[in-house]
A = this chain, B = another copy of it.
Amino acid sequence: MKKSEFGFIGDIAAMFGALPHHGFEPIGDDCTVLQMGDEALVMTTDMLVEDIHFLRGASLPEEVGEKSLMVNISDVAAMGAKPIATLLSIALPESAQGEWAERFMRGYYEASEREGVALVGGDTTASRDKISINVVAIGRAPMTNLKRRSAAKVGDVIAVTGKLGISSKGLVDIMFGDLNTAAAKAHRRGQARVAEGMWLGAREEAHAMMDISDGIASDIKHIMEQSQVGAVIELTKVPTDYDIRYATTGGEDYELLLTVEPSAFDTVAEALRAATGTTLTAIGTIVEGNGIEWLENGKPTEIEMRGFEHF
């Protein structure tokens, strides 16, 4: 849980901070962490609501099923952990209780099968007229593999997997009624970087890591806050096929944002590509301070960068 998600009622993390934690780490990362000996169990949850996160007319039920799983296991992978199981709650209006629900479950099942994760619990209920879906994803990792937002070091290379911006470009396509562009399909069927997250989890040269859910302009701030560092990002290095604003402030790409020991960056990038086929691109540097500087060809840019707001 991101602290800011409970901003509407003040600092819930602080409110609950005084209660016994029973071995769980405090709120602040992609997942909560429960240490069990040398191993960590990690857990995360995301709620998807009709007309907020998806439109029944614009996404196939199978796509909503797949996406519900993917947004959650992306958070597990971003900790360097292996997703092992999920719990699924779903509230269905009468209009979705037949075919829509069956097709949703097919999409959820096929993605679960592909990723090798079990369905171990859940709840179903009626609702008045809108669909609500809540998924909890559970993962495991050796404690030493866990990647936290607080682990960035001054001098680290800031890097991202894959290419950015396709999901938000797809959302705009959908808003204009172009449901069948490659970007629109990518938006509806975002894939989590599970193999990459687990692989990077095992590399000690990778320091801080998280998944990109609100755009790097917003998400890098979580690493900066938790690690008490600043960042410099060179816009021309951000890997994208679209407008730079989609790539920096567009959400839901589910690529990984991480910081890497600078002397090891080339080796790690090459080995990640050999192991998973996925590129790792250096886009900036962790610096002292608490500010973020955006450069364009080495010079300060005036483009204003804001994160994508789901809420």
Residues of A within 8 A of B (CB): 1, 5-6, 8-10, 12, 15-16, 19-24, 27, 31-32, 34, 36-37, 41, 43-53, 84-85, 87, 89-92, 97-98, 101-102, 105, 109, 112-113, 116-130, 132, 134, 136, 138, 140, 310-311
Determine how close the nearest CB of chain B comes to the CB of A46; give it in whole angstroms.
5
Contacts of A124 in B (CB 8 A): 5-6, 8, 311
- Cα distance, A53 to B127, chains bound together (Å): 9
Determine how close the nearest CB of chain B comes to the CB of A77; give it in whole angstroms.
15
Residue of B24, B36, B122, B311 near A45 (CB, 8 A) is B122
- Cα distance, A51 to B130, chains bound together (Å): 12
Determine how close the nearest CB of chain B comes to the CB of A261; give it in whole angstroms.
29
- Cα distance, A14 to B194, chains bound together (Å): 26
In the complex formed, the residue of B with least CB distance to A25 is B120
- Cα distance, A90 to B98, chains bound together (Å): 25
Q: Contact check, B125 vs A53: say whether CB atoms are below 8 A apart.
A: yes
- Cα distance, A174 to B118, chains bound together (Å): 40
Q: Contact check, B118 vs A16: say whether CB atoms are below 8 A apart.
A: yes
In the complex formed, the residue of B with least CB distance to A71 is B123
Taking A49-B91, A105-B12 as contacts, is the C-beta distance between A24 and B128 under 8 angstroms?
no
- Cα distance, A97 to B98, chains bound together (Å): 32
Taking A19-B116, A91-B132 as contacts, is the C-beta distance between A24 and B311 under 8 angstroms?
no
- Cα distance, A226 to B85, chains bound together (Å): 23
